[in-house]
C-alpha cells in the first residue's frame, strides 16, 4: 500500500507487506531503504576499497540503484507518443436511458471518474506541442460496469478507410527511415507522396491544413469519437451514435507563424496551459454530445456512415448534449499515470457496441496488442490507472507482474469449489453484442459506398470563413513548398481541383506551379448542392469573451499601480489570467512602491505566448526598451498575428520602434489612457483577433 509522500521532496513511502510502519530518522522523515527494505546508511558514495581505490562489485545498494535507473524507459507509443493527461469526472446532465442501457447514461447528476490524455500523433515523446498535427483526445471512463474508452481525436474524420493502411500512413508521416527527419512534421515528401496517392485522405488533409491542427490549447478544441458506434437500449435495440466533445470555452487556434515561434519559445505550451488552468482552479470543461440516427437515415445519407473519412453535419443530425466532462486534477506522477495509461478501443461497456467500420475493427486489435508491447505484458490492467474502479473477477492469472491472482483452489470455470451450483456463471447484466445480421462473400474489397473522396473535402472548404480559407490555402503552400519533388506537389494540386478550383489555383500560384495540373481521376463526382456546415468553422464557434485566455502585460520598474490593477482586475473578473513581462523578473516595484514579480523576462516571454498584450512601461523604461530587439519583436509579432494591443502614452515610442507607425494603428491598437479603459480593452480582447489586419500584413 502506498502512502502519500510526506513532502514532494522525499521519496515515496510504502508500508510493509504486513502493514509495518517506518523507522524514522527523527521527526517525520522516513529512513531511506533499498527495494528490499534494507535501511541505507550512505546514498552518496559507492563502496570502495580505500578512499581512492576501485569500486566493489558487492555494493548491492549501488547495483540495485543503477540497475533500476537503467530500466526506467519503456517504448514510447508508436503514434501519439507525446501526450498529457489529467483526471476529472463525467457528469450526466440528460439521461440517455431512452436509447441506451449503459449504466453511465442512466442517472442525471451522477458523476463517473474519468482520465483524459491529449496528444500529438507524429512527433516523438520529446517533440514540441504546437506542431501542425491531429490531436488525440482519449477519454477513459471508469464506469460502474467497467472501463469505457472513447479513444478519439480533435478531428472528426480520418486519413484512411481501412486499418490495414495504417502502418503505411504512419511510416509516411513520421521521419523518413534513412535520415530520421523531419521530426513531428507533415511538411515533407513522404507524407505528401502517400496522401496524394491515397485520394481517400483528401478530406482529412483539408482539416490537417486548417487551424484545427494548431489548436491554441487542449482546452479550446473539440473531440470526436470519429467512428459510428451503436447504443443499445434495455430491449436490445440499436441506435447509431457519433460522439462529440464540445469545449465550454469555445474553439480557438493559433496562427501558423505563431505556432512556429511558440515551438521555440515554449515547446510545452499546451502542457503548461493545462497544468496552469487546472492547478489554478480554472477547470477545463467539455460537453458530451451525441448524434443519434437509425438505419433509415443511414440508408438515405449520401455517404456511408461506416466510412471514417466522412462526417455527418450537425445541421443534418443535431447534437444532443447529455453530459459534461470536467478535468480538475493533475496526475501525481506523469509516468505512473499519463505514460502508463492504456487506452483500448475495445474497452466498451454494456449498452455500447461497435459497427462494421473497418478502421474501428482494426483498431480493436491494435490497441491491446500495442499495450502489451509497451507495458511489458498482459497485466497492464493491474496498473492502478488502467484498473477498473468497479469490482472485477475472473480466472486470468500469472504473467509478468501479476498482482491479482485468484485466491484459493478454483482458477477455472465451471467449478464446484466457488459455485454452489457448480455451473458457469451467467449475468443478466453481462455484455451482449448486438446480434447484427452478417452475410457476404469473404473477400478483400473496398465498398463502392466508400468511393466519394472529394465531396466532404469540399463541404469542409465551403463551411470556412474567408480568413480560415486563406489559412488553409497558405498551409498547403507552406507544406508543399517543403516537398522537394515537383511531381508530388502537382499531384496534390490535381486533387484540390475537385475540392475547389479557387483553392487549387491559389495553391498552384503560391508554389509557382504552372500550368495548372489536370484534375485527378475521380471515382465519383462531387455531390452537387452541398450546404455549408457552420459547425465546421472555428471562427464561427469561437468564444465571445476573454474567459480562460491570457493577457501579457509589459511593465517596467515604477509601472502605474492604478492602470496595472485595473487591467488585472478586469481580466480576473472574467476568469482570464495575466502574466507580467519585464526587463528583470525580480526587483520591480509599482508606482506606489509595492513589490512586483514578473513571470517572464522580456527575452523569455514573447508575445506569441499570449492571447492579447498590453504595454505599460514608464517613460524611462520605454526609453531603455526601445533599443531592445526582443521588445520590438514582441510588438511586431503581436501586430502581425492580429492580436489586440493595449498601450499607455509612454509606449508610443515602443510602437514606433517596432515599425508600428501611426498610419498602421487600427482599432486593434488601443490607447489605455486611464483606468476606465481597462474594462473596454479586455472586452474587446474577447474577439481574440482583429482578423481584418491579417490581410494587410501579408503580401505574398
Ligand atoms: Fe490510434 N493508435 N490507431 N487512432 N490512437 C494508438 O495505441 C491505430 C486512429 C488514437 O493517449 C496506438 O496506445 C490504428 C483513429 C489516440 O494513449 C495504436 C488505427 C483515431 C491514441 C493505434 C488508428 C485514433 C492512439 C499507439 C487505424 C481517432 C493515443 C499507442 C485503424 C478516432 C491514446 C497506443 C493515448 C494511439 C492504432 C487510427 C486515436 C498503435 C491501427 C481513427 C487518441 O494502437
Mean pLDDT along residues 642-671? 95
pLDDT digits (tens, 9 = 90+) for 303-354: 999 999 999 999 999 999 999 999 999 999 999 999 999 999 999 999 999 9
pLDDT of residue 544: 86
Residue 393 a catalytic site member? no
Burial class (CB in 10 A: 0-12, 13-18, 19+), 685: buried
Question: Is 374 annotated as a binding-site member?
Answer: yes
Domain membership flag for residue 137: yes
CATH number at residue 579: 3.40.50.880
Q: Kindly state whether residues 36 and 93 are assigned to the same domain.
A: no
Residue nearest ligand 1's atom 29 by CA = 80
Catalytic residue among 80, 87, 101, 244: 80
Assess whether 530 and 547 both reside in one domain: no
82 pocket-lining for ligand 1 (C-beta < 6 Å): no
Per-residue pLDDT band for 1 (boundaries 50, 70, 90) equals very low
Give yes or no: residues 562 and 515 share one domain. no
pLDDT at residue 423 in the model: 72
| Mean pLDDT, rounded, of the chain | 95
The string of pLDDT tens digits covering residues 65-102 is 999 999 999 999 999 999 999 999 999 999 999 999 99
Cβ of residue 338 lying under 6 Å from some atom of ligand 1: no
Torsion angles phi and psi, residue 694, rounded to 5: -55, -40
Mutate to test the pocket of ligand 1, among 133, 363, 373 (most ligand atoms within 8 A of CB): 363
CA–CA separation, 239 vs 229, rounded Å? 8
Ligand 1 center to 598 CA (angstroms): 41
- 525 and 586 part of one domain: no
For ligand 1, atom 3, which residue shows the shortest CA distance?
A: 363
How big, in percent rounded to 5, are the helix, strand and coil portions of the chain?
A: 35, 15, 50
Q: Is 560 found in the same domain as 474? A: no
Measured at the CA of 80, the angle between CA 75 and CA 86, to 5 degrees, comes to 100
Q: How far is the CA of 151 from the centre of ligand 1 (A)?
A: 7
In a domain, 424, yes or no: no
The pLDDT tens digits for 249-261 are: 999 999 999 999 9
ipTM of the complex: 0.97
Q: 390 lies in a domain?
A: no
Q: Is residue 438 part of a domain?
A: no
Last residue of one domain, picked from the residues 382, 403, 432? 382
Q: Which residues pair with 230 in a beta bridge?
A: 240, 353
What residues contact 96, with CB distance under 8 A and at least 6 apart? 102, 105, 106, 231, 290, 322
Which pLDDT does position 477 carry in this prediction? Answer: 98
Q: Is the pLDDT of residue 21 over 70?
A: no
Same-domain check for residues 535 and 665: no
Domain match, 571 and 692 both: yes
Q: pLDDT tens-digit profile of 486-543?
A: 999 999 999 999 999 999 999 999 999 999 999 999 999 999 999 999 999 999 999 9
- 518 and 533 inside one domain: yes
Q: Are residues 467 and 565 in the same domain?
A: no
String of DSSP letters for 181-227? --TT---SHHHHHHHHT-GGGHHHHHHHHSGGGSBS-GGG--EE--S
- Domain residues for 554? 543-697
Q: What is the pLDDT of residues 392-451, one digit of tens each?
A: 999 999 999 999 998 888 899 888 887 766 677 888 889 999 999 999 999 999 999 999
Same domain, 11 and 147: no
Q: Alpha carbon of 83 to those of 102, 129, 136, 220, 526: distances in Å?
A: 29, 9, 8, 16, 37
Query: Does the residue 415 lie in any domain?
Result: no
Q: What is the pLDDT of residue 424?
A: 77
Q: Is 530 within the bounds of a domain? A: yes
Last-in-domain residue among 382, 411, 435: 382
pLDDT over threshold 80, residue 164: yes
Q: Respond yes or no: is residue 80 known to be catalytic.
A: yes
- Counting the structural domains of the chain, the total is 4
End residue of a domain, out of 382, 410, 443: 382
> Checking DSSP bridges between strand 550-555 and strand 612-616, what pairing results, if any?
parallel
Residue 27 lies in a domain: yes
Tell me: do 515 and 648 sit in the same domain. Answer: no
Choose among 236, 207, 277: nearest CA to 499.
207
- Specify whether 556 is located in the same domain as 517: no
Give start and end residues of each alpha helix (H) in 210-355: 256-265, 269-279, 295-300, 334
The conformation of residue 2, written as its DSSP 8-state character, comes to E
Give pLDDT, residue 3.
Answer: 39
> How many A from CA of 159 to the centre of ligand 1?
13
pLDDT at residue 36 greater than cutoff 70: yes
- On whether 77 is known to bind a ligand per the annotation, the reply is yes
- Give residue 662's pLDDT: 87
Q: Would 389 be classed as within a structural domain?
A: no
Q: Write out pLDDT tens, residues 546-580.
A: 999 999 999 999 999 999 999 999 999 999 999 99
Residue 535, domain CATH: 1.20.1370.20
Residue 367: pLDDT band with limits 50, 70, 90: very high
Residue 186's domain is classified under what CATH number?
A: 2.40.180.10
Amino acid at each position: 500500500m502506498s502512502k502519500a509522500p510526506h513532502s514532494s521532496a522525499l521519496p515515496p513511502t510504502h508500508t510493509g507487506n504486513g502493514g509495518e510502519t517506518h523507522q524514522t530518522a527523527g521527526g517525520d522523515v522516513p529512513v531511506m531503504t533499498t527495494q528490499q527494505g534494507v535501511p541505507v546508511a550512505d546514498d552518496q558514495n559507492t563502496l570502495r576499497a580505500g578512499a581512492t581505490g576501485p569500486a566493489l562489485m558487492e555494493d548491492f545498494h549501488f547495483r540495485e540503484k543503477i540497475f533500476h535507473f537503467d530500466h526506467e524507459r519503456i517504448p514510447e507509443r508508436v503514434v501519439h507518443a507525446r501526450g498529457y493527461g489529467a483526471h476529472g469526472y463525467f457528469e450526466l446532465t440528460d439521461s440517455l436511458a431512452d436509447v441506451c442501457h449503459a449504466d453511465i447514461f442512466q442517472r442525471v447528476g451522477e458523476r463517473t471518474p474519468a482520465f483524459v490524455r491529449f496528444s500529438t500523433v507524429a512527433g516523438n515523446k520529446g517533440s514540441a506541442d504546437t506542431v501542425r498535427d491531429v490531436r488525440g483526445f482519449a477519454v477513459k471512463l471508469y464506469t460502474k460496469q467497467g472501463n469505457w474508452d472513447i479513444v478519439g481525436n480533435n478531428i472528426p474524420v480520418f486519413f484512411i478507410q481501412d486499418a490495414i493502411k495504417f502502418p503505411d500512413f504512419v511510416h509516411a508521416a513520421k521521419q523518413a527511415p534513412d535520415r530520421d527527419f523531419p521530426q513531428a512534421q507533415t511538411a515533407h515528401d513522404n507524407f505528401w507522396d502517400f496522401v496524394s496517392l491515397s485520394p481517400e485522405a483528401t478530406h482529412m488533409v483539408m482539416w490537417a491544413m486548417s487551424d484545427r491542427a494548431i489548436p491554441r490549447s487542449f482546452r479550446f478544441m473539440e473531440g470526436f469519437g470519429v467512428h459510428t458506434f451503436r447504443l443499445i437500449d434495455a430491449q436490445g435495440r440499436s441506435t447509431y451514435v457519433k460522439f462529440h466533445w464540445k469545449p465550454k470555452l469555445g474553439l480557438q487556434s493559433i496562427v501558423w507563424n505563431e505556432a512556429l515561434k511558440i515551438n521555440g519559445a515554449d515547446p510545452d505550451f499546451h502542457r503548461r496551459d493545462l497544468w496552469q488552468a487546472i492547478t489554478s482552479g480554472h477547470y477545463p470543461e467539455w460537453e458530451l454530445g451525441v448524434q443519434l440516427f437509425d438505419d433509415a437515415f443511414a440508408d438515405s445519407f449520401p455517404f456511408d456512415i461506416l466510412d471514417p473519412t466522412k462526417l455527418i453535419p450537425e445541421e443534418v443530425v443535431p447534437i444532443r448534449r447529455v453530459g459534461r466532462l470536467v478535468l480538475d486534477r493533475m496526475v501525481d506522477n506523469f509516468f505512473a499515470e499519463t505514460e502508463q495509461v492504456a487506452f483500448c478501443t475495445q474497452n466498451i461497456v454494456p449498452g455500447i457496441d461497435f459497427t462494421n467500420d473497418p478502421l474501428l475493427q482494426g483498431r480493436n486489435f491494435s490497441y491491446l496488442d500495442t499495450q502489451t508491447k509497451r507495458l511489458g505484458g498482459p497485466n497492464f490492467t493491474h496498473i492502478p490507472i488502467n484498473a477498473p474502479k468497479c469490482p472485477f473477477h475472473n480466472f486470468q492469472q500469472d504473467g509478468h507482474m501479476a498482482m491479482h491472482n485468484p485466491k484459493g483452489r478454483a482458477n477455472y470455470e465451471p467449478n464446484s469449489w466457488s459455485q454452489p451450483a457448480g455451473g458457469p456463471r451467467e449475468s443478466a447484466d453481462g455484455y451482449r453484442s448486438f446480434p447484427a445480421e452478417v452475410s457476404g462473400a469473404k473477400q478483400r474489397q473496398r465498398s463502392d459506398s466508400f468511393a466519394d473522396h472529394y465531396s466532404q473535402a469540399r463541404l469542409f472548404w465551403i463551411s470556412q470563413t474567408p480568413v480560415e480559407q486563406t489559412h488553409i490555402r497558405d498551409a498547403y503552400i507552406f507544406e508543399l513548398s517543403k516537398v522537394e519533388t515537383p511531381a508530388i506537389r502537382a499531384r496534390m494540386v490535381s486533387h484540390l481541383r475537385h475540392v475547389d478550383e479557387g483553392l487549387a489555383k491559389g495553391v498552384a500560384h503560391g508554389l509557382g506551379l504552372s500550368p495548372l495540373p489536370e484534375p485527378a481521376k475521380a471515382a465519383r463526382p462531387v455531390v452537387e448542392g452541398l450546404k455549408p456546415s457552420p459547425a465546421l468553422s472555428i471562427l464561427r464557434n469561437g468564444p465571445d469573451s476573454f474567459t480562460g485566455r491570457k493577457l501579457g502585460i509589459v511593465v517596467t520598474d515604477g509601472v502605474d499601480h492604478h492602470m496595472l490593477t485595473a487591467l488585472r482586475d478586469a481580466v480576473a473578473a472574467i476568469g482570464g489570467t495575466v502574466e507580467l513581462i519585464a526587463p528583470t523578473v525580480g526587483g520591480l516595484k509599482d508606482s506606489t512602491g509595492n513589490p512586483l514579480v514578473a513571470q517572464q523576462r522580456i527575452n523569455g516571454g514573447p508575445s506569441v505566448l499570449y492571447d492579447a498584450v498590453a504595454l505599460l512601461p514608464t517613460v524611462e523604461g520605454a526609453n531603455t526598451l526601445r533599443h531592445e530587439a526582443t521588445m520590438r519583436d514582441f510588438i511586431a509579432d503581436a501586430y502581425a498575428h492580429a492580436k489586440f494591443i493595449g498601450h499607455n502614452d509612454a509606449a508610443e515610442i515602443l510602437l514606433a520602434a517596432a515599425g508600428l507607425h501611426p498610419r498602421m494603428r487600427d482599432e486593434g491598437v488601443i490607447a489605455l489612457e486611464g483606468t476606465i479603459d481597462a474594462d473596454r480593452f479586455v472586452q474587446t480582447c474577447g474577439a481574440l483577433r482583429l482578423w481584418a489586419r491579417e490581410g494587410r500584413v501579408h503580401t505574398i
